[in-house]
Structure 1
Amino acid sequence: MQRISLIAAATLALLATTAVQARPLDAIQKEGTIRMATEGYYPPFAYFEGKKLVGFEIDLAELMAQKLGVKFEWKTVPFDSLLTGLSQDRWDLVISSHGITPEREKAVTFTLPHYCSGAQVIARDDSIKNAKDLAGKVVVAQTGTTYLQYVQKNVPSVKRLVNFPTNEAALQALMSKRADAWVTERFLAKEMLAKNPNANFKQGELLFVERIAAAVSKDNKTLVNAWNQAFETALKDGSYAKISQKWFKEDIRCPE
C-alpha cells in the first residue's frame, strides 16, 4: 500500500542526508543472509498465521532471496519505522507495500514495482463511491498512508477525517457505524471484505493508481540491480505468476 505522511516525508528527507553506509550485495552474499523488514499486519501481503509470517510479499521476497543465493531473516516492525530503520542500516531491504512517491525517492532507492494497486472507497451506503461522495462524511484511513494524505489534499469538504494506526481499527470504525467511509488499498479491502461477508460493504471507485515496490538504502546499486534481475527472471520463468495466482487468483503485476 502506498503509505506516507507529511511528517514521515520530512523525516525521510533528513535521513537521506545522514544515513550510514548500507550493505552492498557482496557483503550480504559473504554473510549468506539478507535481512528484510515488513510490517507483518497487512493481509494478504504480509501477516501472521500463528507464529509463521506469510503472504504474497513474503513468498515473493523469499523467492528473490533464493534467486540471489542467500538465506533470509525477517524483522517485523511498525510501518512508520520501516524506512527509518532502512536508513539506519538495521536491515538490507524493506518490502511492505510501499508506493513509489517523490518524497520517498529522496531517501531510498526503489526496486522495480512488484505490483500495481490503488486507493478505494469502502462504504455501507452504495451511493458513496468516489472522492466527491465523501463530502460531508466521516472518513477513516490508516495513519501514515497516502490514502489519508489523498483525502486531506483532495477532499477538504469531509465532515471529519479520522486516522487509525491499523486498517483493522479503521474497518472496525466503519463496522460500528462511527464512520461513513473507509479509504484503503483495493486488495486489502477485498481480503477484509471477504472475511466479513455479512457487513454488506460496497467497494467504490479507485481514487488513484499506484506502483508498489521494495526499497533499499539510497543508491545501494548492487543490491537493487541484483534484486531487479532476479525479479525479471521470476516474471519470465512463471514463478511470479504462480505466487500471484496463489494469493489473488490473478496476475497483479504492473502493465508494461
Structure 2
Amino acid sequence: MTHPNSNLLRVATSGDYPPFTMTTSSGYHGFDIDLTQLIAAKLGKGVEFRGFSWSEFSALEQICAQPELPSDLAFDVIVSGITVTSERRKFGLFTRPYLRNRAVVLGPKSVPRPVDLTESKLTLGVNHGGYLEGLARRSFPTMNILTTRDNLNLATLIDNGADCIMTDSLEAATILRHGQLDLWAELARHDIAIYMPKVLIQLCAEIDAILHTMLRDGTLVNIAKRHGIIESLLPQL
C-alpha cells in the first residue's frame, strides 16, 4: 500500500541531530536529508520535509501502528538517526539498516572518569523521548537523568546540572571536536534505519531495494564521507 499523495515523499525529521539532520534558515541539511532526497528521486517523487520534536515520537509511533492510513497523514517516512529496536517494530516498519552506531557517555576532561558508571550517583544528560533516554535509564539506574527537548543543547547540560551526557558515536564526534569533553564509556551498538507506517509495505520494499543499490554502487559511502562518517559504520552487503 502506498499513500494517495504519490507525487511526494513526505519526510518527518527532527532537524536537531547532527550529522543526520540539522535545520538552518535555508532548510534541512544532513546525512538523512541527502539520503532521502536521493531516495525520492529514485522513486520518481519530489520530497517534502516536515519537522517533529522527540517528545512527539511516541505519538508518531501510534500513527505508524494504525491499520489504515489516516486521511490527514503528514508523513510517509521518519528519519533522524532512528535506532532500530524491537519495541519500535511493534508499531512501524523499518527499512534495511543504512548505518551502525554506538551509544557513548561523554564527560568533562577536567573531571576524573568514574571507575564504574553503572553504580554512579552522577547526573546524566540525554535527549528527551528517544532511544537513548530509555537506554540511559536501563543502563544507569542509580543516576539522576536530566533530559533536554532540544538535542542541539545537549552538550550545554554539562554547565546546567549534568555531570556527563549520553549521545551516539556520530554526534559525539562533533561534540568532542570542541575539546571540553572526553569519552567516558561506550555502550550498546545499534542499527539505524528509515521508519514508516506498518501499512506502507510496498514503499518499504522499494526503499530497501534503493538502499541496497546505494550500498553496492558506493552512493552511501559518498554521502557518509560528505558528512564526516567513516565507511566502517556502513552495513556490509
Task: With the length of structure 2 as denominator, give the TM-score of the two structures.
Answer: 0.86
Q: Per the alignment, in what secondary structure is the counterpart of residue 98 of structure 1?
A: coil
Equivalent in 108, 117, 123 of residue 138 of structure 1: 123
Q: How many angstroms does 1:153 deviate by?
A: 1.8
Report what 1:180 is aligned to: 163
Deviates more, 1:44-53 or 1:206-215: 44-53
Q: Per the alignment, in what secondary structure is the counterpart of residue 75 of structure 2?
A: coil
Q: Per the alignment, in what secondary structure is the counterpart of residue 192 of structure 2?
A: strand
Report what 1:217 is aligned to: 197
Report what 2:135 is aligned to: 150
5+ residue gaps, structure 2, are 65-69
Report what 1:90 is aligned to: 74
Equivalent in 79, 101, 107 of residue 123 of structure 1: 107
> Between Structure 1 and Structure 2, how many residues are aligned?
225
One-letter code of the match for 2:234?
R
Report what 2:227 is aligned to: 247
Report what 2:67 is aligned to: none
One-letter code of the match for 2:86?
P
Confirm or deny that 1:52 pairs with 2:8: no
Task: With the length of structure 1 as denominator, give the TM-score of the two structures.
Answer: 0.80
Distance 1:129 1:168, change over 3 A: farther
One-letter code of the match for 2:35?
L
CA distance in 1, matches of 2:189, 2:76: 27
Distance 1:93 1:249, change over 3 A: closer
Q: How many angstroms does 1:211 deviate by?
A: 0.7
CA distance in 2, matches of 1:129, 1:74: 44
Distance 1:106 1:213, change over 3 A: same
Q: Conserved in 2, the CA contact under 8 Å of 1:136 and 1:157?
A: yes
Q: Conserved in 2, the CA contact under 8 Å of 1:37 and 1:82?
A: no
Report the aligned-residue RMSD. 2.1
Distance 1:169 1:128, change over 3 A: farther
Distance 1:205 1:255, change over 3 A: farther
- Give runs of aligned pairs for residues 16-55 of structure 1, distance below 5 A: 24=2, 27-28=4-5, 31-55=6-30
One-letter code of the match for 2:171?
L
Deviations, residues 168-221 of structure 1 (Å, cap 9, x unaligned): 3331121x2622110111111211232x23x2x101332111111111111421
One-letter code of the match for 2:121?
G
CA distance in 1, matches of 2:8, 2:82: 23
Q: Per the alignment, in what secondary structure is the counterpart of residue 99 of structure 1?
A: coil
Distance 1:146 1:83, change over 3 A: closer
Deviations, residues 135-177 of structure 1 (Å, cap 9, x unaligned): 121111111122222232232222x221111233331121x26
Distance 1:151 1:51, change over 3 A: same
Distance 1:81 1:178, change over 3 A: closer
Equivalent in 37, 41, 45 of residue 62 of structure 1: 37
Instruction: Percent identity, please.
Output: 21
Q: Conserved in 1, the CA contact under 8 Å of 2:170 and 2:229?
A: no
Report what 2:153 is aligned to: 169
Deviations, residues 65-119 of structure 1 (Å, cap 9, x unaligned): 1111211111112123356345352211111111111211111011111111111
5+ residue gaps, structure 1, are 1-22
